[in-house]
Structure 1
Amino acid sequence: MGENNVVRRSARARAAAVFMTAALLFGVSVGFGSGTAMADPTPSPKPPPSTNGSWWVQPAPKPGAAAGARQYFILEGRPGTTLRDGLAVSNYTDHPITYYVYGADGYNAPRDGQFALRDHGYPMTGVGAWVRTAFPTITVPAHTSTVVPISIAIPPDASPGDHVGGVSGMDTAVESVQQQGNVQVGIKRVVAARLYVHVDGPAVGGLTVTDLKVAGSAPFPAYVSDSDGTVTATVTNSGNLLESPKAHLHATGIFGTLIDRTVQLPQILPGQSIDFSQVWKNMPPFEIGTLHLDVTDGTAAPPVTSTAAVSVTLIPWLSLLLVAVVVLAVLAVLVFWRRRNGPLPARPRREPSKVAAP
């Protein structure tokens, strides 16, 4: 999967890569509603290197354009309008394949923040619910391609801004079965072309950084061994446009700069949040300072920025406790040795008593 390009204020500037994922469906049979349709096929050449080698989906080429010229849908419209396009489904195998074609909502995966699509059967509440296909299933003969007409019905009350999802094709055949406990899980292959729909209206960019924390303890013993810490935060796209921000992590203390690092974050969908996490290598054992996290999308006009800060107090308590114990032990030994080996104290001399004369 290619690197995501930034999707900005103009729909014509939007770019992204084709997304492929595997769908896990319980059982080995799925009901698809109406019957299977057989569309007019065209000869399909050998699969391009970017495909999975057996079949692929992508936006249908525009009139006069070469096949494969579009790798994603980039559409724009007003609330209440319907946009029309087509999904090209290519079968490179030696046997016919039946696919289920459907729209899916996009989201940022909790684990790493990367773009993902909702599985088939998941209730679609976003752009995935706007997608309508000419027929729900399609059979594509071997070594051919066909185009499934699709429409995107933008609701009259659709919020302005960027809405991201995909148009997915899922092989109706179970590719393999895995046993997970007492449940058999059927693996079905899903390939999707990303769908970017920009709804006209006020465009607002926004980023918010919350829950900035530093975790880690001083090494033991201090200044002898190394210790690593972790910086975590939550980055939220609080606007209605896609954001592709960079995070600048920097901290200063009484001994100067502690950390200074810039990383590229995944593209964040409107209303979605990702977990930011960075390892702080060789965290100093003793330091007092402030750590800042600046998240900026410099591709926006004007740039969108959010900043959070947290105090950093690093004290090697365990090492200090060990030093205190050692010092007290040494003092105790010295006192004991002095008392045992020092000169005996002199006894006071008793004066003879005098008797008064009568």
Structure 2
Amino acid sequence: MPVLHTLKRAGVLLLAAAALYATPAHPAAADEPGWTAEPAAGAESARPGGGPYPTRPYFYMAGSPGTVLEDRLALSNTSDQERTVTLRGADAYNTADGAFAVRPGPNATGPGSEGPVSEGPVSKGPAAKGPVSTGAGAWISFGAGATVKIPPRTRAVVPFTVTVPPASPPGDHPAAVVATEAGREVGVRVHLRVSGPTLAALTVEDVAVRGEGAAAVVAYTLVNRGNVALAPELEIRAEGRFGDVPGRGSRALPVELLPGQRVELTEPWPGAPVLDRVRVTVTVTAPGGARATGTASAWFVPWRAAGWTGLGLLALGGTTSAALFLVRGRRTRPRPADGVTRGEAPEERGPRPAPEHELTGASR
């Protein structure tokens, strides 16, 4: 019976192993979208010298106030069923951490109405609510083609227009074309520039140092005060009371700061000192002559070591005080009234000294 039980157990293990190896290592996602959206390539005859235009990661459009700009969106249905996609324009903005996001549609009431759009051609983001588009997103129109039915294994090209209002201010007006189907949204960025004077300007605010040691970071806020999008570069310099402190060399930030937007960022600072008072200077530059600085001061103290040192000094002080109290008590202990020290025999008493008389000048 024990042998039979062992064989049955081995058979169960073999069946479980076979089922495990039969399961695909990377099963297909159940929510596979089955469709994509991207800028349509231009016609071969429209390009000098012929040949197709290269794939565009986003739309780039420029014009003066009062003009109407045109472009085309390509929708590809890679599935075996028909897709119904709804198209709209949306304002773009920076989230608090610097990501690129779009405003929800005018009829959005729940999840899927807003989310970040990556630097790539398409992306989807988490659900959120927010104000609807009132800027460049509202200038985008698909006309009668706002709802598109795409047959299986088919690619549809949908034209759209951007009508720039006559009183539009010059500079960049970030937006996106958003395609929605069954609760899923895909955004394609639109870089729109209205002709006229441009200004690249920014400020660095709320600089602060947080943490200590290898976990120290420099926190700061960037504000785009101009009318063009900025690609900022960051540099951190530090000056200590006890000598030079390593900062952070110049590097490009993974953020596109849109006009009028404010982002809150942190920069790791592994070179922070252990014990020093440091003045940190954050310098941010961007193409077009934008430059700004912000400063902050911070104390770096190894509080754990300081705490143990303080406890040790306190204990040493207590021990010293107790010893002095004991010594002082032994020195001031009174003698017995009969003049005999405890433990001293009566016969060991010595002659008592004569009493001292007051010197009054009288004879004795």
Length-normalised TM-score, structure 2: 0.69
- The alpha-carbon distance between structure 1 residues 63 and 346, as it changes in their structure 2 partners (threshold 3 A), is closer
Name the larger-Rg structure. Answer: 2
**What is the CA–CA distance in structure 1 between the aligned matches of 2:260 and 2:353, rounded to whole Å?**
96
2:122 matched to which residue of 1? Answer: none
* CA displacement at 1:205 relative to structure 2: 0.5
- Contact 1:134–1:148 (CA<8 Å) still a contact in 2? no
Give how far 1:86 is off: 1.6
Q: Distance between the aligned counterparts of 1:351 and 1:200, measured in 2?
A: 120
Q: 2:43 aligns with which of 44, 49, 63?
A: 63
Distance 2:78 2:333 in 1: 109
Assess if the C-alpha contact under 8 Å between 1:80 and 1:154 holds in 2. yes
Query: Which residue of 146, 152, 167 corresponds with 1:142?
Result: 152
The answer for the alignment partner of 1:126 in structure 2 is 135
| Structure 2: distance between partners of 1:128 and 1:287 | 51
Q: 1:288 aligns with which of 277, 283, 286?
A: 277
Amino acid at match of 1:117: V
CA offset digits 1:45-97 (Å, max 9, x no partner): xxxxxxx8721122222221527633321111111111112212111111110
In 2: Cα distance, 1:350 partner to 1:214 partner = 79
Q: How far apart, CA to CA, are the structure 1 residues paired with 2:353 and 2:75?
A: 119
Cα distance, 1:336–1:147 mapped onto 2, change above 3 Å: same
Match of residue 13 from structure 2: none
Match of 1:190 in 2: 185
Residue of 81, 105, 108 corresponding to 2:67: 81
> Does residue 113 of the first structure (1) align with residue 98 of the second (2)?
yes
Corresponding position of 2:218: 231
The match for 1:161 among 167, 171, 174 is 171
Residue aligning to 1:178: none
CA distance in 2, matches of 1:88, 1:227: 48
CA offsets, 1:229-271, max 9 Å, x none?
3321110111111101111122121232143244432111111
| CA shift in 2, pair 1:85/1:193, >3 Å | same
Structure 1: which 5+ residue stretches go unaligned?
A: 1-51, 174-187, 218-225
Report how far residue 134 of structure 1 moved.
2.7
Which residue does 1:313 correspond to in 2? 299
In the other structure, the counterpart of 2:198 is: 203
Q: For residues 339 and 59 of structure 1, do their structure 2 counterparts lie closer, same or farther at Cα, with a shift above 3 Å needed?
A: closer
Cα deviation, 1:88-125, whole Å, max 9, x if unaligned, reads 21111111101101111111122x31212223335111
* Structure 2 CA distance for partners of 1:352 and 1:102, relative to 1, 3 Å: same
Mapped to 2, the partners of 1:350 and 1:156 lie a distance apart of 122
Deviations 1:196-233 (A, max 9, x none): 1110111100111111111236xxxxxxxx56333211
Which amino acid in the other structure matches residue 133 of structure 1?
A: F
- CA distance 1:234–1:354, shift in 2 (3 Å): closer
User: Which of structures 1 and 2 has the larger relative contact order (alpha carbons within 8 angstroms, sep 6+)?
Assistant: 1
Q: Report the Cα offset of residue 316 of structure 1.
A: 4.6
SS at match of 1:142: coil
Deviation sequence 1:251-297 (CA, Å, 0-9, x none): 12123214324443211111112111123337434211210111111
Residue of structure 2 equivalent to 1:91: 77
Give 3-state SS (helix, strand or coil) of 1:256's partner.
strand
Q: Please say if residues 58 and 68 of structure 1, whose CA atoms lie closer than 8 Å, have aligned partners that are also in contact.
A: no
The one-letter code of the counterpart of 1:308 is G
Structure richer in helix, relative to its length: 2
Q: Which residue of 2 aligns with 1:223?
A: none
Q: Determine if contact 1:161/1:200 at 8 Å carries over to the other structure.
A: yes
Counterpart in the other structure of 2:128: none
The 3-state SS of whatever aligns with 1:243 is: coil
- Could you tell me how far apart the structure 1 residues matched to 2:159 and 2:65 are? 21
- Pairing 1:170-185 to 2, within 5 Å after superposition: 170-171=180-181, 173=182
Q: Residues 326 and 133 of structure 1: is their aligned pair in 2 closer, same or farther, counting only changes over 3 Å?
A: same
Change over 3 Å in CA distance of 1:335–1:146 after alignment to 2: closer
The one-letter amino acid of 2:161's match is S
Q: Give the 3 Å change call, closer, same or farther, for CA 70–352 of structure 1 in structure 2.
A: same
Aligned counterpart for 1:352 among listed residues 338, 342, 355: 355
Identity among equivalent pairs (%): 30
DSSP 3-state at the match of 1:330: helix
Amino acid at match of 1:58: E
Change (3 A) 1:350 1:207: farther
The structure with the greater share of residues assigned to strand is: 1
Aligned residue identity for 1:123: V
The count of aligned residue pairs is 280
Separation of aligned partners in 2, 1:280 and 1:154 = 45
Q: Point out where structure 2 has 5 or more consecutive residues left out of the alignment.
A: 1-31, 45-50, 109-130, 336-351
Shift of 1:191: 1.8
Q: Is the Cα contact below 8 Å between 1:293 and 1:307 reproduced in 2?
A: yes
More divergent stretch after superposition (189-198 vs 326-335): 326-335
3-state DSSP class of the match of 2:319? helix
Tell me what 1:37 maps to: none
